[in-house]
Chain A
Amino acid sequence: MVDRLLRLCTCAVLFAALAAPVRAQSPDRDWSDVLARARGQTVHWNAWAGDEKTNAFIAWVGAEVERRHGVKVVHVKLKDTAEAVQRVVAEKAAGRDGGGSVDLVWINGPNFLAMKEQKLLYGPYAERLPNWRYVDTVRKRSNLIDFTIPHEGYESPWRMAQIVFVHDSKRVRDTPKSVVELAAWARAHPGRFTHPSVRNFLGATFLKQALAELAPDPSVLQRPATDAAFAATTAPLWAWYDGLKPALWRGGTQFPENGPAQRQLMNDGEIDILISFNPSEAAVSASAGLLPDSVRTFVFARGTIGNTSFVAIPYNASAKEGAMVVADFLLEPATQARAQDHRQMGNFTVLDPAKLAPEDRRRFDELPRHPALPSLAELGTTLLEPHPSWMTRITAEWERRYTH
């Protein structure tokens, strides 16, 4: 009951926050001002660069935005989003409150929370974007609530992510339906499964997925973790992991650094099942020659964790208007349809098809198909991300238990 009340309050606050600026000024004139000021600006978009398809998409976005709005985009390639956070922190430390080096950052979860808490973000700006009206805020609640934290317009969504598992159908016949079955499969096929390093968001999310299934009371995951709740809730997780670890690739002593490294292992024939945050991973990678054509996708019966990727603008960005133009372009139906095309990037849209004009809806209906591409129905239930404090604690606890 308290929980529901709390959630209602959050929603009310959120709506107030969303409504206020719209009422305050005429949105169209406001936006044409933004466009005018954006022209000629250069946006340094700090984005994790470990995926060539995404890099190519970002390059395409840059070309389009420059052509249409005269805004130049420079992709600052990161190994880890934290690098961008660190840069803004360093600039604030040095007293550089304007003319900062980061204009736009691909972000979510703990990095977002860190920047928001330290007041390193510009905004709220998301609801000022003309294309915000198409965003699905009802069924895709992660578009508003980032790892249980309402983003209050300090970031704008650009693509959906949901945990899926990719397997080589030539080598894996019966796909596991839960983390418990997955551990059993791994024990029956020692060394043929691994997960990305727990320091990597995908590795941490794998543990969160297991926690969501194994926790005695999953609802506590939506609140900040306390010492008592953490011990009780994660006890079954560690018991499960102790049973899984020896059966992992390299006996659980080594882990791929990130998702693409894990994919390379599958392409090298070292593992048979991989975890991905992109439901189109199998289709995208098979078409690109990065995985065998025999790969297929599966999810768990009780659902898998999903979240939204956002873009945020640091408080000291030099090209705030240009950054907003890019954020808005990312929400355009045509851009979103291209992003979802598995030949391009293959990330499911953050938009609500029902809100789109018929010709825009058709863009999504007419996207090419692929045998490894799951339908929305096959993707099943999306589980919500736990509060970021769980991820931080799980990562620390995992390091404590398994680092020697």
Chain B
Amino acid sequence: MFAVGAFALPIAAGVAGTLAPAFGFLPAIGGHALTLDPWRELVRWPGFVSSVTLTIATGVAATLLSLIVALAFAAWACARPWGARASAWIAPVLATPHSAFAIGLAFVIAPSGWIVRAVSPWLTGFDVPPDVATVGHPSGAALVLALMMKEVPYLVLMIAGASAQVPVRESLAIARSLGYRAADAWFATVLPRIWRQIRLPVCAVLAFSLSVVDVALILGPSHPPTLAVQAIRWFADPDVRSWFPAAAAATLQLAIVVAAIALLLGVERVAARLGLARIEHGRRDGAGGTVAAAGATFLALLVALAGASIAGMALWSFASQWRYPDAWPSGLSTEGWMRRLDGLASPFATTLAVGAVAVAVSLALVLACLEFEQRRAKRGPPPGLALLYVPLLVPQVAFLFGAQVLLVRTGWDGALVAVVWAHVIFVLPYLFLSLADPWRALDPRYARAAASLGAGPWRVFWRVKLPILAKPVAIACAVAFAVSVGQYLPTLFAGNGRVPTLTTEAVTLSSGADRRVIGAYAVLQALLPLAAYLAAASLPERHRPRRRGSRS
């Protein structure tokens, strides 16, 4: 578990490096005494109350809605044979970075955007776009929608993974024989049993939604913005004294996430009581079916929006001109791509290299962990494994600033190595989460058979386990690579702004540059992880996981 510690420690150091200035201590810029002044300044900021409210409202709404839609979809899909295949359909959505969707969605839902263009002016009579806010609406609705586009598919896959470990088909069959419809049966018999396994992903979604920076920059309100965005703004202020309220805001962000997770665990108990009461009551009104159908419809809508977002950006990257109210560009050409090829090449190469190295390093560590776990024999997962989830739960702003000071002190800031390291912190947990289940589910008889033929543990690892698990390994690597491609804040901080990737460039440009250029970046940003995913998915399946339940 040395590997896990090596990643948890810098986070602890980073959080400490953020906490100290939050209480006025940062000697380098003249903060020598412990004081509450940073907090006073934070609270006195005119947008404070609105910003905190907005942060909590958008984070909680995105999480709750995503969870409801994902559960409803799972309940809907359980009775349909092609429901399982729908999971494969949404996997590409999972591979695409948040910011690529956010950039595309901004165009799709804007008052002068694609949807309005498609029906104007012939249907709506809008000769000029309506003067109403969608993107950047003070409520943060656009931000919630963009988060849902990614979080629902993520939760659906997590639910599918968890369901594979319980006897879904049998449970449903029994419940249905008792007169429950499929969706109701799923809610009553499967959900309670998989909740324990999806609790952590839900917490990760909650932590992420509360503290996301890039999506909030692109789609969230800016006046005032969410707390995380405001912290980043203060960190970027030319007046270094702004670092104090920035650190206070980042610390408050951490407190909000911790409180929200605690609240979620509290709500979980209440919900469990209510759910149990409902099950005991034995209601068979089919209400679950309605919820499930609504969830499936909503998911279809989200996937359609996701598709339109990327398609819109692809179209923009080839457009010569595309003005309101045209539903289609007035001209298409490859000239823009040709002209921008030079500019695109370097961030493309950096994204590829950082992603590949971060995934390779993480894969080595994860495989080492998993092998270690199996060779320890029947003692279960080693202690300290929970630390792996720390990067998924601690808001990035809360430790990246402290980590940056650390990097600058050691002279590693701006180096490619630092960026790779920052990516590994986030890539590793996802790689572990994706790989642990198939690895642990591998039938131990393969290894035993090989061992009985005289193969040592290493030979079994290289010649038996790895080849059989080649596809799950490749898919886990593709997921991890997608995580790396999508990193914005860690790249910005560790790279000191000097290691531009497709994502940092796209987010920078999204603040207003030519949409034809943004389109090119967003498309590449989406294509790169997708290509990795498709390559992994095209590998032949060579193992049959040992299953207790059915896969539905």
What residues make up the interface of A, taking CB atoms closer than 8 Å to B? 44, 46, 49-52, 55, 59, 74, 76-87, 89-96, 101, 110-111, 114-115, 190-192, 197, 199, 249-251, 253-265, 267-270, 288-290, 292, 399-400, 403-404
Determine the residue in chain B with the shortest Cβ distance to A86. Answer: B236
Q: Is the Cβ of A270 less than 8 Å from the Cβ of B413?
A: no
Question: Complex: how many Å from CA A114 to CA B29?
Answer: 14
Q: Is the Cβ of B223 less than 8 Å from the Cβ of A197?
A: yes
8 A Cβ contacts from B99-144 to A: 110-112, 128-129, 131-133, 136, 138
Question: Complex: how many Å from CA A253 to CA B131?
Answer: 11
Given A255-B222, A267-B323 in contact, is the A101-B496 Cβ separation under 8 Å? yes
8 A Cβ contacts from B473-521 to A: 496-498, 500, 505, 508-509, 511-515, 517
Question: Complex: how many Å from CA A74 to CA B350?
Answer: 14
Q: Is the Cβ of B498 less than 8 Å from the Cβ of A44?
A: yes
Give the residues in chain A near B497, CB-CB below 8 Å.
46, 76-78, 83-84, 87
User: CB < 8 Å: which of B342, B411, B512 contacts A59?
Assistant: B342
Encoded as 1 (CB less than 8 Å from any A CB) or 0, chain B from 228 to 252 comes to 0000010111111000000000000
Does B321 reach chain A (CB closer than 8 Å)?
A: yes
User: CB < 8 Å: which of A50, A93, A115 contacts B513?
Assistant: A50
Q: Is the Cβ of A254 less than 8 Å from the Cβ of B136?
A: yes
Given A86-B238, A89-B29, 10 more A-B residue pairs with CB atoms under 8 Å apart are A52-B514, A83-B236, A94-B408, A101-B414, A250-B132, A254-B136, A269-B112, A270-B128, A292-B323, A403-B50
User: CB < 8 Å: which of A77, A253, A257, A292 contacts B505?
Assistant: A77
Give the residues in chain A near B324, CB-CB below 8 Å.
268-270
Give the residues in chain B near A95, CB-CB below 8 Å.
409
Encoded as 1 (CB less than 8 Å from any A CB) or 0, chain B from 209 to 223 comes to 000000000000111
Q: Is the Cβ of B512 less than 8 Å from the Cβ of A50?
A: yes
Question: Complex: how many Å from CA A233 to CA B404?
Answer: 42
Q: Is the Cβ of B508 less than 8 Å from the Cβ of A77?
A: yes
Given A82-B237, A114-B239 in contact, is the A52-B46 Cβ separation under 8 Å? no
User: CB < 8 Å: which of B111, B128, B238 contacts A85?
Assistant: B238
Does B263 reach chain A (CB closer than 8 Å)?
A: no
Q: Is the Cβ of B46 less than 8 Å from the Cβ of A82?
A: no
Q: Is the Cβ of A269 less than 8 Å from the Cβ of B222?
A: no
Question: Complex: how many Å from CA A403 to CA B414?
Answer: 36
Question: Complex: how many Å from CA A191 to CA B500?
Answer: 37
4 closest A-B pairs by beta carbon, nearest first, are A261-B512, A93-B28, A260-B512, A191-B131
Give the residues in chain B near A46, CB-CB below 8 Å.
497
Question: Complex: how many Å from CA A55 to CA B513?
Answer: 11
Does B325 reach chain A (CB closer than 8 Å)?
A: yes
Given A96-B408, A270-B112, A403-B47 in contact, is the A59-B514 Cβ separation under 8 Å? no
22 A-B residue pairs with CB within 8 Å = A77-B505, A77-B508, A83-B497, A90-B404, A90-B408, A92-B28, A93-B26, A96-B411, A197-B222, A253-B138, A254-B138, A257-B512, A258-B511, A260-B514, A264-B515, A268-B112, A268-B323, A269-B325, A270-B111, A270-B131, A288-B514, A403-B47
Give the residues in chain A near B138, CB-CB below 8 Å.
253-254
Determine the residue in chain A with the shortest Cβ distance to B347. Answer: A77
Encoded as 1 (CB less than 8 Å from any A CB) or 0, chain B from 392 to 420 comes to 00000000000011001101011000000
Question: Complex: how many Å from CA A269 to CA B409?
Answer: 49
Encoded as 1 (CB less than 8 Å from any A CB) or 0, chain B from 3 to 26 comes to 000000000000000000000001
Give the residues in chain A near B236, CB-CB below 8 Å.
79-80, 82-83, 86
Whole-angstrom distance from the CB of B316 to the nearest CB of chain A?
Answer: 11
**Which of B132, B223, B238, B496 has most chain A Cβ within 10 Å?**
B238
Give the residues in chain B near A96, CB-CB below 8 Å.
408, 411
Question: Complex: how many Å from CA A85 to CA B236?
Answer: 8
**Which of B409, B508, B513 has most chain A Cβ within 10 Å?**
B513
Determine the residue in chain B with the shortest Cβ distance to A107. Answer: B238
Give the residues in chain B near A115, CB-CB below 8 Å.
238
Does B224 reach chain A (CB closer than 8 Å)?
A: yes
Q: Is the Cβ of B512 less than 8 Å from the Cβ of A258?
A: yes
Determine the residue in chain B with the shortest Cβ distance to A392. Answer: B239
Q: Is the Cβ of B235 less than 8 Å from the Cβ of A262?
A: no
Does B383 reach chain A (CB closer than 8 Å)?
A: no
Q: Is the Cβ of B508 less than 8 Å from the Cβ of A250?
A: no
Give the residues in chain A near B238, CB-CB below 8 Å.
81-82, 85-86, 110-111, 114-115
Whole-angstrom distance from the CB of A384 to the nearest CB of chain B?
Answer: 21
Give the residues in chain B near A114, CB-CB below 8 Å.
238-239
Whole-angstrom distance from the CB of A156 to the nearest CB of chain B?
Answer: 20
Question: Complex: how many Å from CA A87 to CA B223?
Answer: 26
Q: Is the Cβ of A90 less than 8 Å from the Cβ of B129?
A: no
Does B374 reach chain A (CB closer than 8 Å)?
A: no
Give the residues in chain B near A249, CB-CB below 8 Å.
131
Does B320 reach chain A (CB closer than 8 Å)?
A: yes
Q: Is the Cβ of A257 less than 8 Å from the Cβ of B222?
A: yes
Question: Complex: how many Å from CA A255 to CA B138?
Answer: 12
Give the residues in chain B near A262, CB-CB below 8 Å.
512
